[in-house]
A and B are shown apart, each in its own frame.
Chain A
Amino acid sequence: MTLVIAALVIWAAAWALNVRLAARGQGLLVPLIFGLTIIVVWQLLVRGLGVDKVILPAPTEVAVTFWENLPILWADFVQTILKGALGGYIMGVIAALVVAVLVDRYGFLQRGLMPIANFMAALPIVGVAPIMVMWFGFDWQSKAAVVVIMVFFPMLVNTVAGLADTTAMQRDLMRTYGASYLQTLFRLRLPAALPFIFNGLKIAATLSLVGAIVAEFFGSPTVGLGFRINASLGQLSLDMVWAVIVVAALAGSLFYGLLTLAERALTFWHPSQRSQRH
């Protein structure tokens, strides 16, 4: 009981502290304290109320499991994230970029393919996972195939919108130089499309992890994040499930963070990036 009361006290104290800090504009500290408070309160409540380990393990248990199983989790990370998600991501993104340039070039494809692509981008494409597992086997190839299809459409839609995002004046300027199609593509359309392309890359990054993990629920070798979740649930070792989720969260944030860095480096000129740097 004391632990529960302690949890409530800590929650109230941290919130009061955050109110103070927020008023002073401490940008990074406030969310960190908030996140930390949740973990501490979670720990105290689980311990104080004696919550069963198979319902909700305490953060310390998750941390210990994470630490003790690092080699297993690393192998799962390599299998699901590096092979399945990243492999499919690269293939899907390249395919979408190529098709986007073709769509931009040929009005027929623009009118014929884009309504279909917009439609497909909203569908629960992860449902093709069982079919891909049947076609490409249990290993990472089938996961990469799911990821290719999942990232293709949002990437295509964003890139096509970006390639169209030039003003009549910019296009006229290239005409006054007698520029060829390829010169206009590489010197005007692709640079102008970069902010949109990065938007697509970021959406696709999260989707690729979702696709690779969920596809493993439909069949996998005995390694991989999705497999580990299923197997650990079967053994009711929820601390392991949470450890896997930590890996997935870290992978997602890392992937997204790297893309954000690349975006800052390549689209530093765009108003949305300039305003952030003051």
Chain B
Amino acid sequence: MKGSVGPVLAILAVLVAVWYAAAVPMNVKEVLTQAERDGAVIEPGSAAERRDVGRWALVFSNVENLGATWSSERSRLPAPHQVVAELWKSTWVEETTGRRGIVRSGSLSNRSLVYHGGVTLGATALGFVIGALAGVLLAVGIVYSRVMDMSVMPWAIISQTIPIVALAPMIIVVLYSIGLPGLFAKAVISAYLSFFPVVVGMVKGLRAPDHMQLDLMRTYSASKSDTFWKLRLPASVPYLFASLKIGIAASLVGAIVGELPVQRGGLGARMLGGSYYGQTEQIWAALFVAALMAAFLVWFIGWLERRTLRAMGVQA
């Protein structure tokens, strides 16, 4: 991917420009209503009439009153710099100067994205580790037991085709009602979302050695465990990491969705809260933190993959 830095930056610049341009018509109605209240002359003259006019028409007939579309408090689409400002405000500023911030109170503020991001990250990580370990174990069972293979594998594959995340709210509510802590309930969802991709990928990986390689092990009279540790497991590593990347992204989605039914912190709760109270900037900021977290988690798995492969002597 050498030589793609320039084009990527160019495309990103275009996206930001489109974002700014879109913010004008998206926010025009609210901004004009506010401007009218402040005494400006708006064309057409009442909010009721404006409701029936297209956004672009409003933009062109009120060019001099558009200033606030990039700075409005309650915008439908906040401009990029507003989102960045919100991000800054709800992380660094909140923690260093806020009444509940870590500097003044000694613990992370429950109004800061550092805290909510941490809540989500904890559930994601715990669930992912459980789900991945269980997935690898089941895959080993499937590869070595014909009954398990034939009984479980078709269901594991079918489970990939159905939206199992629909179970999330129910699991949360049930686990809450029997008194399990929220972190654990969310981790359960993260775990089962990452579980199935890991099972399917790992089974594929453990079966990756071809007949010739397996026959070679047989000519050495290798035991089952020798074949597993010296052939199947090393051969499965690339498949394992590919499915771990899918699994950790799914774990994060699971944790976020798991935070929706019971509002006790986390990025999902921030998004839903922002949606209730019309705080668009809050939604966008939470979304950006979730995106950064996903990018970091996938990068982290990729980093582990590169290190592991290098340790195994593969030219990555």
Contact = CB atoms under 8 A, between A and B. Distances in A.
A230 B151 CA distance: 33
A44 B253 CA distance: 34
B28 to A, nearest CB: 14
B202 interface: no
Contacts of A22: 146-147, 149-151
A102 to B, nearest CB: 12
A19 interface: yes
B162 interface: yes
A30 B150 contact: yes
Interface in B1-46: 1, 3-4, 6-8, 10-12, 26
Given A134-B275, A213-B166, A245-B166, A252 B11 contact: no
Main secondary structure of the interface of A (DSSP, over half): helix
A99 to B, nearest CB: 12
A252 B151 contact: no
A126 interface: yes
Interface stretch (A66-74, A105-113, A171-179): A105-113
Interface residues of A, number: 63
Most buried by B among A130, A202, A242, A245: A130
Given A35-B155, A124-B249, A233-B261, A218 B163 contact: no
B271 interface: yes
A206 B151 contact: no
B16 to A, nearest CB: 12
B25 to A, nearest CB: 12
A31 B151 contact: yes
Contact of B162 (A55, A114, A209): A209
Interface in B138-195: 146-147, 149-155, 158, 160-163, 165-167, 169-170, 173-174, 177-178
B295 A123 contact: yes
Contact of A123 (B245, B272, B294): B294
A249 interface: yes
Contacts, number: 166
Interface in B67-123: 76-77
Contact of B163 (A55, A108, A210, A217): A210
B163 A134 contact: no
B152 to A, nearest CB: 7
Nearest to B124: A124
Contact of A127 (B7, B153, B290): B290
A252 B162 contact: yes
A131 B295 contact: no
A209 B163 contact: yes
B165 A128 contact: no
A108 B275 CA distance: 37
Interface string A81-111: 0000000000000000000000000001101
Nearest to B294: A123
A210 to B, nearest CB: 4
Indicate the size class of the contact surface on chain B.
35 or more
A127 B287 contact: yes
Nearest to B286: A127
Contact of B261 (A31, A135, A225, A230): A230
Interface in A211-240: 213-214, 217-219, 225-226, 229-230, 233, 238
B10 A112 contact: yes
A112 B8 contact: yes
Contacts of A116: 8, 11-12
B76 to A, nearest CB: 6
B83 to A, nearest CB: 11
B177 A244 contact: no
B158 A253 contact: yes
B57 interface: no
A135 B146 CA distance: 52
Contact of B274 (A27, A130, A226): A130
B298 A124 contact: no
A18 B256 contact: no
Contacts of B291: 123-124, 127
A230 B249 contact: no
A229 B169 contact: yes
10 contacts: A111-B4, A111-B7, A113-B7, A123-B291, A126-B253, A135-B77, A213-B166, A218-B275, A241-B169, A253-B161
